Amino acid sequence: MFSRLLTDALHVGLPVNCAGCGRWDTPLCGDCAALLAAPPHRVEHVDAAGQVDVWALSTYTGPVRPLVLGWKNGAREDLGPVMAVAGERAGHWLAGQLRPEAVSAAQASGCLLVVPAPSGLGRRLRGRLVAADLADAVARGLAAGWSDAAPPRSARSG
């Protein structure tokens, strides 16, 4: 699925290589795509986050690092659809992982915020708000996952 999305997004005739491992003739190989397809994992010891749960789609090492850097800096704008799918998938999965108090607070307030890590000044000035785009994708996934898990309205109302 990732490869098809990328192939559609790339211009025909340009040499392509995997954004993660550099393998030729594919914009994103199956091995690297699989690194974005696993369920998110909780990140421990993020002191700056305080009591906020922090989740990561993948570790920022190996092939994921050049993949993410290419997407963030615009060298691989073709990864936008791939990252959106990964974000939606992660959001859908996270919908089932929210703490009960987070669900209660979201239901009481009518909203659940997805806050992206702020992009650097240079990226913001260039209008490359990739973290915001990813947060939007996660929010779409959360909304879909939450509505999938919610009982039918008639069952909730009693």
Query: Could you list the residues that contact Zn ion (CB under 5 A)?
Result: 18, 20-21, 23, 29, 32
Instruction: Give the nearest distance from C-beta 140 to Zn ion in angstroms.
Output: 26
Instruction: Give the nearest distance from C-beta 92 to Zn ion in angstroms.
Output: 24
Instruction: Give the nearest distance from C-beta 114 to Zn ion in angstroms.
Output: 28
Query: Beta strands of 50-127 (E only): which ranges?
Result: 55-56
Q: How far out from the chain centre does Cα 16 lie?
A: 23
Which pair of structure tokens corresponds to residue 143? 């909304």
Comparison of 32 and 114: residue with beta carbon closer to Zn ion:
32
Question: What backbone phi and psi angles, to 5 degrees, belong to 117?
Answer: -65, 135
**Contact present, 6 and 27 (Cβ < 8 Å):** yes
Comparison of 21 and 139: residue with beta carbon closer to Zn ion:
21
Comparison of 18 and 142: residue with beta carbon closer to Zn ion:
18
Instruction: Give the nearest distance from C-beta 18 to Zn ion in angstroms.
Output: 3
Comparison of 17 and 119: residue with beta carbon closer to Zn ion:
17
- Helix 130-149 to helix 80-95 angle, to the nearest 10 degrees? 40
**Contact present, 101 and 58 (Cβ < 8 Å):** no
Instruction: Give the nearest distance from C-beta 149 to Zn ion in angstroms.
Output: 33
- Gap between the Cα atoms of 83 and 116, Å rounded: 14
Comparison of 18 and 135: residue with beta carbon closer to Zn ion:
18
